[in-house]
Amino acid sequence: AQVLFSVKLYTVHQYLNVTLFLYVFPQMIARGKNASDLFPAVVKNVACKNIEVKKLVYVYLVRYAEEQQDLALLSISTFQRGLKDPNQLIRASALRVLSSIRVTIIVPIMMLAIKEAASDMSPYVRKTAAHAIPKLHSLDPEQKDQLIEVIEKLLADKTTLVAGSVVMAFEEVCPDRIDLIHKNYRKLCNLLIDVEEWGQVVIINMLTRYARTQFLNPNINESLLEESSEKAFYASDDEEDEDKKAEAATLAKRKPYVMDPDHRLLLRNTKPLLQSRNAAVVMAVAQLYFHLAPKAEVGIIAKALVRLMRSHSEVQYVVLQNVATMTIKRRGMFEPYLKSFYIRSTDPTQIKILKLEVLTNLANETNISTILREFQTYIKSMDKDFVAASIQAIGRCATNIGEVRDTCLNGLVQLLSNRDELVVAESVVVIKKLLQMQPEQHSDIIKHMAKLIDNIQVPMARASILWLIGEYCEHVPKIAPDVLRNMAKTFTNEEDIVKLQIINLAAKLYLTNSKQTKLLTQYVLNLAKYDQNYDIRDRARFIRQLIVPTDKSGALSKYAKKLFLALKPAPVLQSTFKDRDHFQLGSLSHLLNAKAAGYQELPDWPESVPDPSVRNVEVKDSVCARRTVLTGPEESDSGSGSESASASDESGSGSESEESREETESEDEEEDEEKEKKRKKRLDKTKAKKPAEESAERCLVLPNVSCSAPSFPQRAEQWHRGQKTRQEGSEESEKCLRIRERIRKQRIRGRVGGGTIAPSGSIKMYELLHRITGEGLAVEYCFSRQPFSPDPNMVAVQIQFTNNTNSETKNLHIEEPRLQSGMRIREFTEIGLQPSGESVTVVMGIDFCDSTQAANFQLCTHTRKFFVSIQPPVGELMTPVFLTENDFKKEQGKLMGMNEISEKLMLGEKCVNEHVIVERVTATANLSRVPCGSEKECRFAGKTVSSGCLVLVTVPTKEGGAAQLTVNCEKMLIGTLLVKDIMQALSQ
Amino acid sequence: MIHSLFLINNAGDLFLEKHWKSVISRSVCDYFFEAREKAVEPDNVPPVIRTPHHYLINIYREKIFFVSVIQTEVPPLFVIEFLHRVAETFQDYFGECSESTIKDNVVIVYELLEEMLDNGFPLATESNILKELIRPPTILRSMVNTITGSSNVGETLPTGQLSTIPWRRAGVKYTNNEAYFDVVEEIDAILDKSGTTVFAEIQGVIDACVKLSGMPDLTLSFMNPRLLDDVSFHPCVRYKRWESERVISFVPPDGNFQLMSYHISAQNLVAIPVYVKQNISFFETGSSGRLDITVGPKQTMGKTVEGLVVTVHMPKVVLSANLNATQGTYNYDPVTKILVWDIGKLNPQKLPNLKGSLSLQSGAPKPEENPSLNIDLKIQQLAISGRLGSFISVGCDSLPAGPCDKALLLLTLF
């Protein structure tokens, strides 16, 4: 590589080839060298067939696109083509690279691509779409609103693959939109265990915040009790009575705390993750428990955190920081693991110091003796920083635990004769702090320290000793002046902090014992007056004015004694980790003890319960919701993937799902398995009966797999995935599906054949509301392919209501359509009365805006409301257009390039002649045939209903059943979908 | 999330950089170098360094610093864990994770990093998926590649990412279906001067090497699972089954992986297999000292102790050591002040002994503390936790290619 670089770059251009790619670029980029001159030559290779070259081109492109925006645009079309590839992995990788190119011009293209990918069939592509969202957001924050819509849609996704990525996108784009989580909360909790590790971390952190806003503090009663007891402890006698009254009032007000079942669900579903191998997951669960769990349950995290202490030192470092914070609030939790925090000689210093911190926090009356013994060995360590920290730790133990104060003090005094100066210095500083608490009893220690001043050289220690002698000069009246005398001799050679303390000592002695020290003080002050340091000169001047009475000296000198010899409060030795718990544990901000960019505050618990019903999800099938025994564990998986029909009793759904949830919770694994068996038995039984007769009953027995017809294979796969834990379960469910499918086909055929429906037999009926779900009301619909006269831009949908109940249904009408932007709906006139056992057919119009998005609305009767949705196949979004051969060719010529999608296919066995092909194509899409001279080619034309874009289809056939399908349409999405549908129809 | 990654060697050379978002100048590493200098020992570099605009999260592994640049709030452990995963992947691919192997395989390293993160968020970290995407280098392949110009990138698209068991690739086939499980237990103990145990715990891991066709579903059960105080699992293990039945049930990844790690803390179970008599003293006058260390067996349950190594961190004033070992070799490094005595196999009849004198820096005060000793050893075929290992049973629930040919249980204990 180095040799090549000496060659001038333009020669490189000419010889740019595979080898160069393989060896030069990674080297250049890895070393941070600028290789942007090669950009045009590289981009040429973007469509290269060699996968490795292709990947490296991607790397290169993403790296330099920002600098060479114009040239980067050359490559965009390649990715756009990739987005339409039938292979999901290619679609995903195209989206991944496209969204990584940081060029603002392509923002609209990216937006479109993300939107499309978000409704892709493949969960992997949807995952990639979720990954692309933060990229686009950082490139152009103005897209936020549109992106939130996509996030909302993806949050509803029920696959584990997508969950982690979309929550990550949520956290980056709109972490404050907590309302988007409500409906997905339970699903996320249930999926959590199967999500990949990194996604788990993100989801758990987000759910912690969510739970803090939605549930009540589980420790509310305890914290109140604590508060009141603390108050009582500190309160003076007068206040006590009042306090008691107030306390009684709060006690009376307080209701017994009942944990929200959703809160419990979160705690229960995260608990097993404490056993994850991934330290980040364990930490995430630990912080969740620390912030959300009732006090009695928090203890379980200790063991897992202690386990992390055996991991890499960086992991230990982070874990210890968090443990240190936890130990301040919940000491009891870690007490059993005290010995795990003992220090090893091989630990790095920073780990040792953190462990000391934890040990100090854990110290109490019962374990202090073992801890102190341990500390004693630490003092002998060779690591001086660690020794200093150990001495401070001893000091802190001594202040916190009164019983051992004397022992500690004696130990520290012994250290004063240590040979190591650092040890002595640190001890002096700590002793100074301790003595301040009870100076009266320890004048001998002060004397001992006064003697030490000749030997100790560390300035901080000397200063501390001087301060002590000055402060307690009354306890050592004889020694103090002598020390001052000695210090005056060496004053000029001392460090600044020592000099300041000498001045202080002099001043204090002057005030208490002016007879002996007057001259000495004058001398010291004179020396200080000519010192090099202005601080010292300043201090000297100030003190002289204050203590030496002169004519001019003001009123202050009267108070000099009060100023200098006031009783000073003892210092509080406390942990640096105190009050760090207002940061979410495990976060970067907590580690740094400062708010990092993008940190989301952990909200305080709400005062009153927020509405728990916001998390209720409309259950697919109201019958199933009630029959929990059947749905049991699959509830979370049921009906996954379909954005279609959801029918439920509006008024009753809340309480029903509440009920069902509780039931589910109480059941455990074994019961599930039993149920599985039970279901199997029933299935076997039903299989034996004749399907057509028994279909209704079977629908009841079958698990909750109601869905729209087209997505069966996908559904089976997802179902299968949901059953990962039980192999047998999945097999069984496939069986169910197969049966179910058969029933459905039969029913449709039966109805059509029975002549109950007006339109011709080739028109397919779709189910809108099953008669079980609809409590006797069955609704089916079809696309009649007639122009909708009130509004030509709408697709006509023919709806047939069948009343299977014994009573009549009244006031059938539509309410609350929830439509994608731009979509419109023309309701049918209300059906006033439908007698029992009769069918009524009406026509309504829907403007789908040329998209295959479902139209959702409520179907209401006089008693009930059902959520339903109509999703049109792409072929129904168009109406036939009559063109001549010439017109067709002309129009086709206009729709070339990006607007043309072409696929090769093998015709199915039954597609023997032209006639069958025409039949199949027209059955799939509402198109008309265009006359054509050649027999080997079929042409069709149509236009989309809403915007009137032309749709042209050409199918030339070749020998041996091969054919080519070409669709020309301005709307690429329609084109792609249509190709897919027609391909399927023809290759069957 | 993770913005950029810099790899820096022990000498402070930045030899690889990778950016997942827009490029961050390598000058950001100056803050790291500053911290590195301050820390003296590489172990003591703070894992999280704050700079005015970024946060640097780094790990130190195999004499390489992996320094990642972060711009916004992210759990630090998330990043640290990921960086370790990167290092492990390198190790997996190249046999070792060192500066030279990374430099030799820079293309693969780059491709790996590209696949592992997308926009700073982990995408594919499972080694099975990565290996499908990018084939690990072998000598033969790299030769063929140089000649034919073919590549290491897999021609097939990986399907593992699409399944819910991303750790296993589809369509695995072996003629011999084998599964090996290694149980490795470690005692971690702190002893005081007189040899009494201050703290001891047993940590164990079960490493597996599974070479089974299709999608096998295995279970592993312990006779005495109550001994396990604390466990952590590979994601393939079903938590629920463990919680309810204390059985480890899993669909294993293909090849080598660590199935679980566990912890046994009960003090009374821990029997330290050796004892050490040591006497290290420094004379008050004359700059010298004496050293005498003897190692002997204690509760080895009839097994031989192997790989015995004694490491002593000497005080700074010790200049050199003039010793005599009855067995093995010793080496004193005057720069790091570490004395290493490699004994090898412990012979219970003739106890190894290291004896001799130490010379100190003249004039320096006598070191007041005795140095601490680290003792490493290995015992094959012995479970310290005693009752655990001998009762492990492995069952294959479903193997499409017939029953398990060999379900071997290989215990390398301690």
- The DSSP result for A679-733, as a single string, is HHHHHHHHHHS-HHHHHHHHHHHS-S----GGGHHHHHHHHHHHTTT-HHHHHHH
Question: Minimal Cα–Cα distance from B36 to chain A, Å?
Answer: 13
Q: Which residues contact B190 (CB under 8 A, 6 or more apart)?
A: A342, A344, B197, B198, B199, B200
Q: Which helix (H) or strand (E) holds B404?
A: none
What are the chain A neighbours of B61 within 8 Å (beta carbons)? Answer: 312
Question: Residue A649: is its pLDDT beyond 70?
Answer: no
Q: Does B266 touch chain A (CB under 8 A)?
A: no
ipTM, 2 dp: 0.85
Q: How confident is the model over A414-449, as pLDDT tens digits?
A: 887 777 777 877 888 788 888 777 766 777 778 888
Strands A795-803 and A777-783, by their bridges, are antiparallel
Distance CA A121, CA A99 (A): 19
pLDDT reading at A397 higher than 90? no
pLDDT range class, residue A10, cuts 50, 70, 90: very low
* Closest chain B CA to residue A310: B203
Interchain CB distance below 8 Å, A314 and B47: yes
- Cα distance from A16 to chain B (closest Cα, Å)? 14
Confidence band of B83 (pLDDT split at 50, 70, 90): very high
Task: For chains A and B, count residue pairs whose Cβ atoms are closer than 8 Å.
Answer: 241
Contact at CB, A319 and B77, closer than 8 angstroms = yes
Q: How confident is the model at residue A739 (pLDDT cuts 50, 70, 90)?
A: very low
Q: Which residues, in sequence order, are bridge partners of residue B182?
A: B207
Residue range A249-256: mean pLDDT, rounded = 55
B362 touches chain A (CB under 8 A): no
| For range A213-232, the mean pLDDT | 65
- Average pLDDT over all residues of chain A: 75
pLDDT of residue A56: 73
When pLDDT is averaged across residues A939-950 and rounded to a whole number, the result is: 86
When pLDDT is cut at 50, 70 and 90, the band that residue A697 belongs to is: very low
What average pLDDT does range A72-97 have in this prediction?
82
- Looking at the complex, report in whole angstroms how far the Cα of residue A721 sits from the nearest Cα belonging to chain B: 7
**Residues 12-41 in B contacting A (C-alpha not used; CB under 8 Å):** 14-19, 21-23, 26, 41
Average pLDDT for A482-505: 88
* Residue of chain B minimizing CA distance to A25: B107
**In the prediction, which pLDDT does A862 show?**
79
Is B283 in the A-facing interface, judged by CB distances under 8 Å?
A: no
* B84 vs A contacts (CB less than 8 Å): 312, 314-315
Residues 6+ apart with CB under 8 A from A711: A121, A641, A642
Residue of A nearest to B190 (CA): A344
Cβ contact B44–A278 (<8 Å): no
Model confidence at B313, pLDDT cuts 50, 70, 90, reads confident
Q: Per-residue confidence at B163, pLDDT binned at 50, 70, 90?
A: low
Nearby residues of A939 by Cβ (< 8 Å), 6 or more positions away: A885, A888, A929, A930, A931, A932, A952, A953, A954, A955
Q: What is the pLDDT of residue A287?
A: 92
- Chain B residues within 8 A of A306 when measuring between CB atoms: 230
Selecting from A134, A310, A589 the residue whose C-beta is nearest the C-beta of B119 gives A134
CB distance A95 to A113 below 8 Å: yes
- Do the chains contact at B23 and A201, CB–CB below 8 Å? no
Q: Which of B294, B277, B261 is nearest to B188 (CA)?
A: B261
Give the pLDDT score at B397: 44
The neighbour count for residue A390, using CB atoms within 10 Å, is 27
Give residue-wise pLDDT tens across range A877-916: 888 888 888 888 888 888 877 778 888 888 877 777 777 8
pTM: 0.67
Shortest distance between the Cα of A586 and any Cα of chain B, in A, equals: 6
Whether A210 has a pLDDT exceeding 70, the answer reads yes
Let me know if A956 is exposed, middle or buried by CB neighbors in 10 A (0-12, 13-18, 19+): middle
Q: List the single range of A97-111, A214-228, A589-603, B366-380 with lowest mean pLDDT.
A: A214-228
Q: Give percent above pLDDT 70 in chain A.
A: 75
Task: State residue A416's pLDDT score.
Answer: 76
Instruction: Calculate what percentage of chain B has a pLDDT beyond 70.
Output: 79
Residue B62 is classified by DSSP as T
Cβ atoms B310, B328 nearer than 8 A: no
**Is the Cβ pair B190, A344 closer than 8 Å?**
yes
Residue in A309, A312, A375, A306 with CA at minimum distance from that of residue A334: A306
- Residue A92's closest CA among A53, A131, A45? A131
Torsion sign (Cα): A646, A650, A654, A655 = negative
Q: Give me the residue from B59, B111, B238 closest to A312, CB to CB.
A: B59
* Residue length of chain B: 414
Residue B284 at interface with chain A, using a CB cutoff of 8 Å: no
Cβ <8 Å between B149 and A96 = no
pLDDT surpassing 90 at residue A921? no
Three-state secondary structure call for residue B164: coil
Nearest CA in chain A to B244: A669
The CA R_g of chain B, rounded to the nearest whole Å, is 25
Mean pLDDT over A320-330 rounds to: 89
What distance in Å separates residue B296's CA from the closest CA in chain A?
23
What's phi and psi for A497, nearest 5 deg? -65, -30
Please tell me the predicted confidence (pLDDT) of residue B171.
72
Is residue A127 predicted with pLDDT exceeding 70?
Answer: yes
Q: Residue B385: its pLDDT value, please?
A: 55
pLDDT band per the 50, 70, 90 thresholds, residue B66: very high
φ, ψ for residue A924 (rounded to 5)? -75, -40
B315: nearest CA in chain A?
A382
Average pLDDT over residues B220-226: 73
Q: Give pLDDT tens digits for A842-860.
A: 888 888 888 877 888 888 8
**Angstrom distance (rounded) from CA B316 to CA A654:** 74
How many whole angstroms separate alpha carbon B146 and alpha carbon B148? Answer: 6
CA-nearest residue of chain B to A194? Answer: B164
Which range has the top average pLDDT, A27-36, A100-109, A657-666? A100-109
Residue A727 confidence class, pLDDT cut points 50, 70, 90: very low
**Percent of chain A beyond pLDDT 90?**
7
Q: Nearest CA to A421 among A463, A448, A460?
A: A460
pLDDT band of B103, cuts 50, 70, 90: confident
A723-730: long-range contacts (C-beta < 8 A, 24 or more apart)?
A723/A637, A724/A194, A724/B164, A724/B165, A725/B238, A725/B240, A725/B241, A726/A673, A726/A676, A727/B217, A727/B397, A727/B398, A728/A676, A729/A676
Q: Which of A24-38, A534-548, A565-579 is modeled with the greatest confidence?
A: A534-548
**In chain B, which residues have their Cβ closer than 8 Å to the Cβ of A587?**
73, 75-76
* pLDDT value for A771: 78
The region of weakest confidence among A659-663, A909-913, A934-938 is A659-663
Going by the DSSP 8-state scheme, the letter that residue A218 receives in this structure is: T
Nearest to B75 among A275, A307, A586 (CB): A586
pLDDT digits (tens, 9 = 90+) for A534-549: 899 998 888 888 887 7
pLDDT digits (tens, 9 = 90+) for A356-385: 999 998 888 888 888 888 888 888 777 788
Average predicted confidence (pLDDT) for chain B: 77
Question: Is the Cβ pair A596, B149 closer than 8 Å?
Answer: no
- Report the pLDDT value the prediction gives residue A653, as an integer from 0 to 100: 39
**Nearest-CA distance A351 → chain B (Å):** 8
Strand ranges of the sheet holding B230-233, from the earlier edge strand across to the other edge: B230-233, B255-264, B197-211, B178-191, B406-407
- Residues in chain A closer than 8 A to B372 (CB atoms): 345
Query: CA-based angle A211:A217:A218, to the nearest 5?
Result: 105
Comparing A252-261, A620-629, B388-397, the range with the smallest average pLDDT is: A620-629
Tell me the C-alpha distance between A499 and A497, whole Å.
5
Burial per residue of A274-291, b for 16 or more beta-carbon CB atoms within 10 angstroms, e otherwise: bbbbbbbbbbbbbbbbbb
pLDDT over 70 at A705, yes or no: no
Give me the phi and psi of A533, to 5 degrees please: -85, 125
Q: Residue B146's closest chain A neighbor by CA?
A: A19
In the chain, the amino acid numbered B346 is L
CB contact under 8 A, B164 and A160: yes
In this structure, how many other beta carbons lie within 10 angstroms of the beta carbon of residue B356?
15
Q: Of B360, B106, B268, B43, nearest to A26 (Cα)?
A: B106
CB contact under 8 A, B73 and A587: yes
Q: How far apart are CA B205 and CA A251, in angstroms?
A: 51
Among A131, A280, A304, select the one facing B81 at the smallest CB separation: A280
pLDDT band of residue A204 (cuts 50, 70, 90) is very high
Bridge partners (DSSP) of residue B67 are B6, B58
Given CB atoms, is B209 within the 8 Å cutoff of chain A? no
pLDDT of residue A201: 93
Within 80-99 of B, beta carbons closer than 8 Å to A belong to: 80-82, 84
User: Chain B, 286-325: which have a CB under 8 Å from a chain A CB?
Assistant: 313, 315-316
Strands across the sheet containing B55-61: B14-19, B2-9, B64-70, B55-61, B48-50
Higher pLDDT pick, A827 / A656? A827
In A, which residues are within 8 Å of B109 by CB distance? 26, 30
CA B292 vs CA B188, B295, B324, B335, B357: distances in Å:
24, 10, 10, 22, 9
Q: Which of B119, B235, B83, B72 is nearest to A130 (CA)?
A: B119
* Tokens (6 digits) for A604: 């305080």
* Residue A195 CA: distances (Å) to CA of A177, A189, B73: 22, 10, 22
Nearest residue in B to A125, CA atom: B162
CA distance A147 to A134: 9
User: How far apart are the C-alpha atoms of B405 and A981, rounded to whole Å?
Assistant: 47
State how far residue B383 is from chain A, nearest Cα, in angstroms: 20
Average pLDDT of the segment spanning A805-809? 78
Residue of B nearest to A717 (CA): B163
